[in-house]
Amino acid sequence: MERRPTSHDVAHLAGVSQSTVSFVLTGRSGISVATRDRVLRAAAELHYRPNLAARSMRTQRTGRLAVVVPIATMNPLTLLSGAISAARDAGYVVEVINLPDEEPDRGGRLSDVVDSGQYEGILSFTPLPAVDTEGGPVVLPVGEFDEAMHMTGEFTDARPITEMITHLAAQGHRRFLHLAGAEEFPSARARREAYVETITRLGLHSLGIVANDWSAAAGAEAIAALPDDAPPLAVIAANDLLATGAIRAAVRRGWRLPDDVAVTGWDDHLQSAFLVPSLTSVAQDRERLGAYSMHRLIAAVRGEDPPQKPERLLAVVWRESTVSPQS
């Protein structure tokens, strides 16, 4: 089946923005004669016809909402689960729609979704390209991730790092090491800053910050490179994979866990509770965040006041990998 040309195709051929195409085809003033002619010629060449029926349906209630996600990145499954459940509880049908990875194609696909007339609202956890939504569905990008699915919203809150270091210091730990994630991640930078601030404020000793990547191998390499007299030591890892590698490397060096080396992680992966010792980590309630984001969209669709923001979505889960060196 031949693909129907979109306003994005017209914009590309005419060398203008999609909003300009929309303005020309809807008779908006302020467009130059030359630009209007280019758009109309491009539309005629492509045999483009705006979906007027869909546009007329935009103000009608369809009972349908959409969540759009990038196609080439990991879908935020727990966020989607929370969002879909919240929408269903409110009486809506939800569709998850993949957007292409490339920016021009992404804009065209989003325009098609907006113009379809099928949805009252569209939710995105990542930034969206600019499209003409005038008179159409509510489009709400909530900004929890960037385009590469790096966390940029609620889950860059690094307060659990401060909480863990403070707790370990109260147990008697004075020497710390931070296994940071890749520096291009906002969450990694936030956790690093919290580590430095807390270590400095409490007058603790840092053996350094190892910034590499998020892998278990990176965690293992960092511990293997420590001097023999590093323990007693508390390792603050930016995720559970780094922490897992640190635990393995410490055991291979003959260091006792958690007596010689205490380790913390982040993400609270399912397997983390079953490591030996079980791993202290940070649980992230992504499902509740997804539900809150969907409640925001529904409120906007219905013209209601936005919902109250949920309280802290992150919590330290204390387990066997953290103990006082004096115990």
Q: What is the reported pTM? A: 0.71
Task: Locate 111 and state its tokens.
Answer: 């325009």
3-state DSSP assignment of residue 64: strand
Do 243 and 219 form a contact (C-beta atoms < 8 A)? yes
- As a whole-number percent, the residues of the chain with pLDDT over 70 amount to 84
Q: Up-side HSE of residue 74: CA atoms within 13 Å toward CB?
A: 8
Q: Which pLDDT score, from 0 to 100, does residue 12 have?
A: 86
Mean pLDDT (the chain) is: 84
206-265 pLDDT per residue, tens: 999 998 789 999 999 999 999 999 999 999 999 999 999 999 999 999 999 999 999 999
Q: Which pLDDT score, from 0 to 100, does residue 229 have?
A: 95
- Tell me the C-alpha distance between 30 and 33, whole Å: 9
Please give the C-alpha separations between residue 310 and each of 256, 290, 293, in angstroms, as whole numbers: 40, 11, 10
142-183 pLDDT per residue, tens: 766 666 566 666 778 899 999 999 999 999 999 999 999 888
Greater confidence (1 vs 278) lies with 278
Q: Which of 30-44, 124-138, 199-213, 307-321 has the highest mean pLDDT?
A: 199-213
Confidence at 53, pLDDT banded by 50, 70, 90? very low
3-state DSSP assignment of residue 141: strand
3-state DSSP assignment of residue 70: strand
- Tell me the C-alpha distance between 43 and 48, whole Å: 5
Q: Which pLDDT score, from 0 to 100, does residue 78 have?
A: 80
Average pLDDT over residues 62-66: 86
- Tell me the C-alpha distance between 41 and 308, whole Å: 49
